[in-house]
Chains A and B, each alone.
Chain A
Amino acid sequence: MELNELTAHELIEKLKKKEITSHDLLTALDKRISQVNSKVKAYVRVNDFSFSDLRPKAYNLQPILQGIPVSIKDNICTEGYPTECCSKILEGFKPPYDATVIRKLKESGALIFSLKTNMDEFAFGSSTENSYFGPTHNPWDLESVPGGSSGGSAAAVASDQAIVALGTDTGGSIRQPAAFCGVVGLKPTYGRVSRYGLIAFASSLDQIGPITKDVQDCAIFANIISGYDPSDSTSADVAVPDYTKSLGMGIKGIKIGIPKEYFIEGMDTEVKNIVEEAVHKLKSLGADCKEVSLPHTQYAIPVYYIIATAEASSNLARFDGVQYGFRADNQGLNSENRLLDMYKQTRGKGFGEEAKRRIILGTFALSVGYYDAYYLRALKVRTLIKEDFDHVFADFDCIVTPTAPTGAFKIGEKVKDPLQMYLSDIYTISANLAGIPAISIPCGFTKNNLPVGLQILAKPFAEETLFRTAHAYEQNAAWQKMKPKL
């Protein structure tokens, strides 16, 4: 096997024993990226990148990672390196600071790839088709989407162009691409990981999380990036346990809830069968699986699309051409109010279609006359959705569902119908609304050889239960060992 095909934990061992060097690993990755990036397009602005940009940093306070490179989604700030959210409006933006997770990774001995992974612009999307740089292609089927918005990160890991990547999840943007690409993706509890340096989409829903080749890697990186951050007022002051200790515990006696609202009439039969088989496997490993109810499931998508777009419309107001990024050139315009023109044209030309759509929808939901009927009402239904989970978790350790209603769809299939695209978030969205942790792991393939993901949800700060359950399943299924043929 090539070095870039190994997992992080395998590589850390080799690096510790000095069997290989960081340079060896970078060379292998470089080779792989040159081979396949033109097909997969997981990374953006490749021409501006040079491997000599990566120099092992001087401060290895706790060299846990021994120089493992980590690929970063384009909406996480990396000091001195372009961070553009794959949008024209942020072209050329180089943050003068590192996100907290970047600092934490560096302090643990990681190498931060300045080559960023592709994403739906500002994380608006479920397919990575809304990127200013064009779509990423699913390594398992180049004509299909990798999922979104962290499609670049998931595809890079799946195609061994990255050892591990960071993604972000607001409505499923880590889990769904992880499912579509056959890798592992974790959305931590809201507040578990600092949002300082994450370019905000929806402030009350966003979280950063690892996308990895297996559950062990996921636990290692969850350890590193989690923790209280005084720079983030929404960061939880809750101790971080060693998540790797949850691996290998087995799931005898674990109570798992299977929500009936997620297995409705008319759902994709393949996905249904594959997930039901996975549930059987969990039962055979000793878990106690029962049907539960999350009665307000059907309202999750409307609630999400009001709250998320409302917050986004405000978070994206700062992209106005004043301090950074793209500014529309309105010289020679004989208008009365050149400032107003600058704002309107900068934002009109700088934002892509989906971004404009969401900003308009969100602005509408907050506007005079509509605030009570939409935004305030959505906040109240959010309470009901959270309470659904509270009731189930009173009696169950975790909940298991499919991650996505289908396998990866074709590029171009849904992008022209926004509502259809939104509906594909049905299984992942509730976890963000309720603030609970969720992980997606591979659990099979469709007849078209497209990966299917199994989602596990737990109550706030119970990531240990997720790792325990995910690892138990993974060790008995071995889907993670399969690789796409590129």
Chain B
Amino acid sequence: MIGLEVHLQLKTRTKIFCGCSTEFGNQPNSQTCPVCLGLPGSLPVLNSTVLDYAIKVALSLDCKIQEYTKFDRKNYFYPDLPKDYQISQYDLPLAKNGFLDIELGSITQQIRIRRVHLEEDAGKLIHRPDFSLVDFNRTGIPLLEIVSEPDLNSPLEAVEYLTHLKSIIEYLDVSDCDMEKGSLRCDANISLRKKGEKELGTKTELKNMNSFKAVKDALSFEIERQTGLLRKKEEVIQETRLWDAKGLKTISMRAKEGAQDYRYFPEPDLPPFVIDDKKVQEIKNTVGELPKEKMLRFIKEYGLSAYDAKILVSSKKDADFAENECILLYPDKDKKPIVNWLIGPLASIASDSNCSISEVKIPGGAEELIKLVNLVEIGSLSNLMAKSVLSESISNGKPASAIIQEKNLFQVSDTGSLDNIAEVVIKDNPKSVNDYKAGKNNALMFLIGQVMKISLGRANPQVVQEILKRRLK
């Protein structure tokens, strides 16, 4: 039984309780003020956009927004915590009781979300041999904590959950969700229970997992470790364990003196918040189409398979690129060919360059890709050849059309491929065909022009004319 606790840094312009910048990577202690430094006499004031973003996320996870919510102080001592308490939420969090669907194969599982709440981030510690260094730039960055019920049953499911969650958050554009930069963090709780038994096993908490892969590996290791202990009839101790990415194992944290007593109490410096239906509706209206909805729409409108649709919608940028620049502009009603190219060759190129399909710089734009796909569909270019043209185009910056022309990739006199083009042109231009048959010679010129266009100017006009005349007899 696995539960995940995800912390997201919200990408507002300023921090949660003060006007300092939330930008990443600047000089240490350059983005601080009396409030986020916790200087004596300073007081917090909540950033309204933080609240809006939080409600947005909670709504997208089908949570119930609490009408009355407040902040509490979580008291503990640590050098990266300037006030030696964190402003967080304890018993009246912003939202509760939502869910997130995960799909493994053809099975959909609903993972319950226990709560969503806001808190402030702490600073960064850098350890040197003799002393530790503190940078308070990060203190006060808004964090959204999303806690799931222990409904996940395997490391794979955990990764699915994280993947789906990340794509929703990216769609909402409220966080960078970058585990490397720390804008998405994940802790896990895991316990084992024998099939059929009702009693819950002892759970351990896992921390220090810095990527989705680490989450999977850490959970896998922990399952094995706990299984091993239980088989030997030994006890699993309730503790916190850190994932050691180098040694590929979980390590017990130093034994702490008893459980932490955070002495939570309502934050006296922040009056409570009442969130009415009007506000909730206002925010709901700003939530656009979410990944799942888009996926279903792609299946319905463009006839994609569930598998293909799922891949395309996993990133909003990619989905928008795919839909607006490729699918909608692709001339044929059957969109499968262009989609295959997006998911196949283009995705491959993207992955090699460590970017996403919308980020690949196609010389001449998506138009060129469409032209390529079209030619393959018509039969004027082989699949293999087209792939190679695409690769070459992207690596040397020349539009695909130009490459095809230069390299004379068309069999100019290949009546076979020209014949194919002619057939398409005839089918697509019934008016011109009738005009020609009625005696208008210009119509023939027009039809030749169309064939030339599709063949990127490489066809032999004489040959084209002969083919057309023959077909239109």
Decide if A and B touch, CB cutoff 8 A. yes
A interface residues with partner B (beta carbon < 8 Å) = 76-77, 83, 85, 90, 93, 95-97, 99, 195-200, 202-204, 230-234, 310-311, 314, 317-320, 322-324, 339, 343, 363, 366-368, 371, 375
> Which of B41, B73, B82, B264 contacts A196, CB < 8 Å?
B41
Give 14 CB contacts A-B under 8 Å.
A97-B39, A196-B43, A232-B45, A233-B43, A233-B44, A233-B271, A234-B269, A314-B73, A314-B263, A318-B84, A320-B77, A320-B84, A368-B261, A368-B263
Report yes or no: B79 in contact with A339, Cβ–Cβ below 8 A: yes
Which 7 A-B pairs have CB atoms at the shortest separation, nearest pair first? A317-B84, A203-B268, A366-B263, A199-B40, A204-B268, A197-B41, A77-B41
Report yes or no: A363 in contact with B41, Cβ–Cβ below 8 A: no
The closest CB in chain B to the CB of A84 belongs to B40
Instruction: Report the Cα distance A366→B270, complex, angstroms.
Output: 19
Contacting A at CB under 8 A, from B58-86, are 73, 75, 77, 79, 82-85
User: A323 with B77: in contact, given A97-B34, A366-B263, A375-B265 (CB under 8 Å)?
Assistant: no
Report yes or no: A200 in contact with B37, Cβ–Cβ below 8 A: no
> Which of A85, A196, A323 contacts B37, CB < 8 Å?
A323
Q: Which residues of B contact A199 (CB under 8 A)?
A: 40-41
| CB of A102 to closest CB in B, whole Å | 10
Instruction: Report the Cα distance A317→B43, complex, angstroms.
Output: 15
Asked if B38 is at the interface (CB within 8 A of a chain A CB), the reply is yes
User: A323 with B73: in contact, given A96-B34, A233-B43 (CB under 8 Å)?
Assistant: no
User: A233 with B85: in contact, given A95-B40, A314-B75, A317-B77 (CB under 8 Å)?
Assistant: no
Report yes or no: A233 in contact with B84, Cβ–Cβ below 8 A: no
| CB of A332 to closest CB in B, whole Å | 13
- 6 A-B pairs besides A195-B41, A233-B269, A317-B83 with CB distance below 8 A are A99-B41, A200-B41, A234-B269, A234-B270, A234-B271, A314-B265
The closest CB in chain B to the CB of A366 belongs to B263
Instruction: Report the Cα distance A451→B97, complex, angstroms.
Output: 62
> Which of A83, A232, A322 contacts B43, CB < 8 Å?
A232
Asked if B378 is at the interface (CB within 8 A of a chain A CB), the reply is no
- Interface core residue of B40, B44, B79 (most chain A CB under 10 Å): B40
Asked if B42 is at the interface (CB within 8 A of a chain A CB), the reply is yes
Report yes or no: A233 in contact with B270, Cβ–Cβ below 8 A: yes
Instruction: Report the Cα distance A6→B261, complex, angstroms.
Output: 55
Q: Which residues of B contact A314 (CB under 8 A)?
A: 73, 75, 85, 263, 265
Report yes or no: A367 in contact with B46, Cβ–Cβ below 8 A: no
> Which of B39, B84, B85 contacts A95, CB < 8 Å?
B39
Q: Which residues of A contact B77 (CB under 8 A)?
A: 317, 320, 343
Report yes or no: A367 in contact with B261, Cβ–Cβ below 8 A: yes
Instruction: Report the Cα distance A435→B270, complex, angstroms.
Output: 16
> Which of B38, B85, B265 contacts A371, CB < 8 Å?
B265
Asked if B134 is at the interface (CB within 8 A of a chain A CB), the reply is yes
| CB of A76 to closest CB in B, whole Å | 8
User: A231 with B43: in contact, given A95-B34, A318-B84, A323-B82 (CB under 8 Å)?
Assistant: yes
Q: Which residues of B contact A93 (CB under 8 A)?
A: 40
Instruction: Report the Cα distance A230→B271, complex, angstroms.
Output: 13
> Which of B38, B39, B263, B268 contacts A363, CB < 8 Å?
B263
Report yes or no: A317 in contact with B85, Cβ–Cβ below 8 A: yes
Q: Which residues of A contact B263 (CB under 8 A)?
A: 314, 363, 366-368, 371
Instruction: Report the Cα distance A202→B269, complex, angstroms.
Output: 10
Q: Which residues of B contact A197 (CB under 8 A)?
A: 41-42
Report yes or no: A233 in contact with B45, Cβ–Cβ below 8 A: yes
Contacting A at CB under 8 A, from B127-149, are 132, 134
| CB of B367 to closest CB in A, whole Å | 52
Report yes or no: B75 in contact with A317, Cβ–Cβ below 8 A: yes
User: A318 with B41: in contact, given A203-B269, A204-B268, A367-B263 (CB under 8 Å)?
Assistant: no
Report yes or no: B41 in contact with A95, Cβ–Cβ below 8 A: yes
Q: Which residues of B contact A324 (CB under 8 A)?
A: 39
- Interface core residue of B34, B37, B43 (most chain A CB under 10 Å): B43
| CB of A317 to closest CB in B, whole Å | 4
The closest CB in chain A to the CB of B71 belongs to A233
User: A195 with B43: in contact, given A317-B77, A318-B84 (CB under 8 Å)?
Assistant: yes
| CB of B311 to closest CB in A, whole Å | 46
Instruction: Report the Cα distance A375→B271, complex, angstroms.
Output: 18
Report yes or no: B79 in contact with A90, Cβ–Cβ below 8 A: no
| CB of A304 to closest CB in B, whole Å | 14
Scan B156-170; emit 1 where CB is below 8 A from any A CB, else 0: 000000000000000
| CB of B255 to closest CB in A, whole Å | 13
Report yes or no: B75 in contact with A366, Cβ–Cβ below 8 A: yes
- Interface core residue of B75, B82, B261, B268 (most chain A CB under 10 Å): B268
Q: Which residues of A contact B45 (CB under 8 A)?
A: 230-233
Q: Which residues of B contact A320 (CB under 8 A)?
A: 77, 84
Instruction: Report the Cα distance A95→B41, complex, angstroms.
Output: 9
| CB of B302 to closest CB in A, whole Å | 50
Instruction: Report the Cα distance A366→B264, complex, angstroms.
Output: 7
Instruction: Report the Cα distance A363→B77, complex, angstroms.
Output: 13
Instruction: Report the Cα distance A73→B334, complex, angstroms.
Output: 79
Q: Which residues of B contact A200 (CB under 8 A)?
A: 40-41
Contacting A at CB under 8 A, from B299-313, are none
User: A198 with B38: in contact, given A366-B263, A368-B261, A371-B265 (CB under 8 Å)?
Assistant: no
| CB of B89 to closest CB in A, whole Å | 15
| CB of A372 to closest CB in B, whole Å | 12
The closest CB in chain A to the CB of B132 belongs to A339
> Which of A196, A202, A319, A339 contacts B42, CB < 8 Å?
A196
Contacting A at CB under 8 A, from B102-161, are 132, 134
Instruction: Report the Cα distance A48→B386, complex, angstroms.
Output: 83
Q: Which residues of A contact B46 (CB under 8 A)?
A: 233
Q: Which residues of A contact B85 (CB under 8 A)?
A: 314, 317
Report yes or no: B265 in contact with A318, Cβ–Cβ below 8 A: no
| CB of A78 to closest CB in B, whole Å | 10
Instruction: Report the Cα distance A368→B44, complex, angstroms.
Output: 26
Instruction: Report the Cα distance A90→B271, complex, angstroms.
Output: 29
Instruction: Report the Cα distance A233→B73, complex, angstroms.
Output: 16
| CB of A464 to closest CB in B, whole Å | 25
Q: Which residues of B contact A233 (CB under 8 A)?
A: 43-46, 269-271
> Which of B40, B73, B83 contacts A90, CB < 8 Å?
B40
Scan B31-54; emit 1 where CB is below 8 A from any A CB, else 0: 000100111111111100000000
| CB of B82 to closest CB in A, whole Å | 7
Q: Which residues of A contact B42 (CB under 8 A)?
A: 196-197
Report yes or no: A96 in contact with B41, Cβ–Cβ below 8 A: no
Instruction: Report the Cα distance A97→B75, complex, angstroms.
Output: 26
Instruction: Report the Cα distance A339→B264, complex, angstroms.
Output: 24
Report yes or no: B40 in contact with A311, Cβ–Cβ below 8 A: no
Report yes or no: A310 in contact with B265, Cβ–Cβ below 8 A: yes
| CB of A344 to closest CB in B, whole Å | 10
The closest CB in chain B to the CB of A338 belongs to B131
Instruction: Report the Cα distance A324→B34, complex, angstroms.
Output: 12
- Interface core residue of A83, A195, A196 (most chain B CB under 10 Å): A196
| CB of B137 to closest CB in A, whole Å | 14
Instruction: Report the Cα distance A148→B299, complex, angstroms.
Output: 75
Instruction: Report the Cα distance A483→B79, complex, angstroms.
Output: 51
Report yes or no: B268 in contact with A311, Cβ–Cβ below 8 A: yes
Instruction: Report the Cα distance A406→B44, complex, angstroms.
Output: 40
